[in-house]
Structure 1
């Protein structure tokens, strides 16, 4: 039996966190939700995360800043970005920083699940 992947959802909107939590748990994932990058970094759950799904625009530390910080610390955790403002220059920055996907809100659940599958495969390849 395989162990369920742990997905960390970071979004300052509690409704987005709840919706993603419900979607991902219904697909068998273990989900941890956080209202900010700082809350995520303070959590011990950050070490066990198989993938981070983060809003781009959050107070204090943006999702892209978090990804950059984690990469600088040697973390290869896959990132998927979601945003209500899918600006092309921000998308380019996110992908250059190492994001697997960049989705504009609202997005289809199937699109997110496809991104998540790609992210988890990429994460497995990093571990090997």
Structure 2
């Protein structure tokens, strides 16, 4: 598992989901940092990037897929894990092409999240 205290960003517009994911991340001895939008994440995390970022696919404003594209445009290398409650055909492939390391469907189990996050010394895919 990741080094204790490694920061994991959570980008989800649903407060209850952010809280649940924060608890799940904390249960893995990691430090959750929650953001309610992609735009807020980009503004606040640009100076101190987390080890990984959990991105809800369906965000108002900038979507999760658009956030992946923006991270790529900015040359920001962070382990991106896309999560969604409703997967449409071709979405998984588009996200992986845009730079997501992993694509998960809600609800996310602790084991699936731990495997998706990986460890800081693992190469990003």
Aligned partner of 2:27 in structure 1 is: 26
Gaps in structure 2 of 5+ consecutive residues: none
Task: Provide TM-score, normalisation by structure 1.
Answer: 0.86
Contact 2:4-2:30 at 8 Å conserved across structures: no
Aligned partner of 1:56 in structure 2 is: 57
Aligned-pair CA distance for 1:44:
4.1
Distance, in Å, in 1 between the alignment partners of 2:109 and 2:15 is 19
CA deviation string 1:57-85 (max 9, x = no partner): 10000111111111111111110000011
Moved over 3 A (4+): none
Aligned partner of 1:71 in structure 2 is: 72
Give the alignment's Cα RMSD to 1 decimal: 2.1
Aligned-pair CA distance for 1:11:
0.4
Task: Provide TM-score, normalisation by structure 2.
Answer: 0.88
Q: Secondary structure of 2:108's partner? A: coil
CA, structure 1 residues 111+62, in 2 after alignment: closer, same or farther (shift >3 Å)? Answer: same
Aligned partner of 2:92 in structure 1 is: 91
Distance, in Å, in 1 between the alignment partners of 2:27 and 2:104 is 20
* RCO higher in structure (CA 8 A, sep ≥6): 2
User: How do 1:7-22 and structure 2 match up within 5 A?
Assistant: 7-22=8-23
Gaps in structure 1 of 5+ consecutive residues: none
Aligned-pair CA distance for 1:4:
2.5
In the alignment, does 2:54 pair up with 1:47?
no
